[in-house]
Amino acid sequence: MANNTTNTTTEASVKECKNPFEIFNEHTKQTFFVQAHMANAAGDDENPALENHHRKFSRFSFGIINAAGVPATANLNVANVPGILERARAIKDIDMKARLKKEMSGEKKEREEEEISKAYTVKISSGALKGQTPAQVLLEKGDEGRKLLSTQGNYLYKNREKYPGNVKQIEAIAEAIGLYDHGQLKEKAAEKTKEIVIPLTFKSKKDGNEAGSIKALKRRTRPNGKAFVYQLTSELHVGAEQPFVFKIMNCYAPLAVLENGLLAPQLAQKESAVTNTFALSMDDFEWLAHQMEASIRIFEDAVGKKNLATAYEQNSKNLKAAGVKARRQR
């Protein structure tokens, strides 16, 4: 009996996948994802074949969907990636030393934490004051900060049964306000517990822009003339449980054309603004870094041979053209 089975992959045998270019996805109350969109070099004088990547379109797309289901997206040019990852790994040593110091301090650290009020150590986990300690809010904003903390405290109190973790924040706010009202809030204590934050942005030699600069997509322009604007920033919070923090800002704003031809978003007239933040653990960030580097390497392996052949062919044509020109000039 003849066997009609073949080894060829048919279209029907390929599994369905809604996000085939996704290389990373982390989901908590929010969702953080990254997609790899590699594009081949144009193969001209502006973007030679052996660059392997299209200077404009080879990119990673980042997205954060907040707890309310509102997304924010941004692109990162592939040329920015090696520098960011190199910087991240260099300053990661600072974070690792801070963690080792934290673990080795033992009982001494516990005694110090007992002596330091919660006002200086407990961070607010939601709202406009997210990421700040009550002491920081009061030292920076004074009476205005007191009002903001009172409002935040009332909100946390109403939801304390649903979220038991709110109690610790409520106590910290109460202690901070008490210290503030009695003139006992100390800047030195706040500085002692202040988190060290190191940005991961850098200058790109490809386009002259910072990786974390505000950029616009003119092709996504609304009928009112306002274009889609985005900003992707990342930073390392030394000693934090989830030290790598990504922030994406989206909005729509009118664009002004500068003398150098670059588009400058007029943020004073922005609309539909949203800013989403997501933090990754050390291990999660290392996996993301691996996935990004692997995506670049796999793409370059796939197109490299063809691009090398293109470069040789172009060079051969150039030599022939130069020879013909030389003969004509004799």
Whether 296 contacts 78, CB under 8 Å = yes
Q: Check residue 206 and give its pLDDT.
A: 44
Q: For 151-208, what is each residue's pLDDT tens digit?
A: 998 989 888 888 888 899 999 899 889 888 888 877 755 555 566 788 886 444 444 4
3-state secondary structure of 88: helix
What is the C-alpha separation between 36 and 40, in angstroms, rounded? 13
Q: Is residue 99 part of a domain?
A: no
Q: Is residue 323 part of a domain?
A: no
Q: Give just the sign of the alpha carbon dihedral 8, 12, 13, 14.
A: positive
Whether 176 contacts 138, CB under 8 Å = yes
Q: Rounded to a whole number, what is the largest CA-CA distance in the chain?
A: 95
Helices (H) and strands (E) in the chain, counts: 7, 11
Rounded average pLDDT over 30-35: 97
Q: Check residue 27 and give its pLDDT.
A: 93
Higher pLDDT, residue 202 or 292: 292
Q: For 77-134, what is each residue's pLDDT tens digit?
A: 999 999 899 888 888 777 777 667 766 665 445 444 445 778 887 888 877 788 788 8
Q: Check residue 110 and give its pLDDT.
A: 47
3-state DSSP of 273-318: EEEEEEEECHHHHHHHHHHHHHHHHHHHHHHHHHHHHHHHHHHHHH
Q: Check residue 207 and give its pLDDT.
A: 46
Q: Is residue 116 part of a domain?
A: yes
- The stretches of 194-281 forming alpha helices (DSSP H) are none
Q: Is residue 276 part of a domain?
A: no
Strand partners, 77: 59
Rounded average pLDDT over 263-291: 94
Angle at 77 between CA 76 and CA 81, to 5 degrees: 80
Say which DSSP state 80 is in.
G
Mean pLDDT taken over the chain: 85
Whether 37 contacts 22, CB under 8 Å = no
Rounded average pLDDT over 34-56: 97
Q: Is residue 128 part of a domain?
A: yes
Q: Is residue 243 part of a domain?
A: no
- Name the residue range of residue 139's domain: 111-194
Q: Is residue 7 part of a domain?
A: no
Report phi then psi at 125, rounded to 5.
-100, -5
Rounded average pLDDT over 253-272: 89
In this model, does residue 145 exceed pLDDT 90?
A: no
In this model, does residue 150 exceed pLDDT 80?
A: yes
Percentage of residues in the chain having pLDDT higher than 90: 49
Q: Check residue 192 and give its pLDDT.
A: 54
Rounded average pLDDT over 298-313: 97
Q: Check residue 209 and give its pLDDT.
A: 46
Total domains present in the chain: 1
Q: Check residue 328 and give its pLDDT.
A: 65
Q: Check residue 203 and give its pLDDT.
A: 44
Q: Is residue 79 part of a domain?
A: no
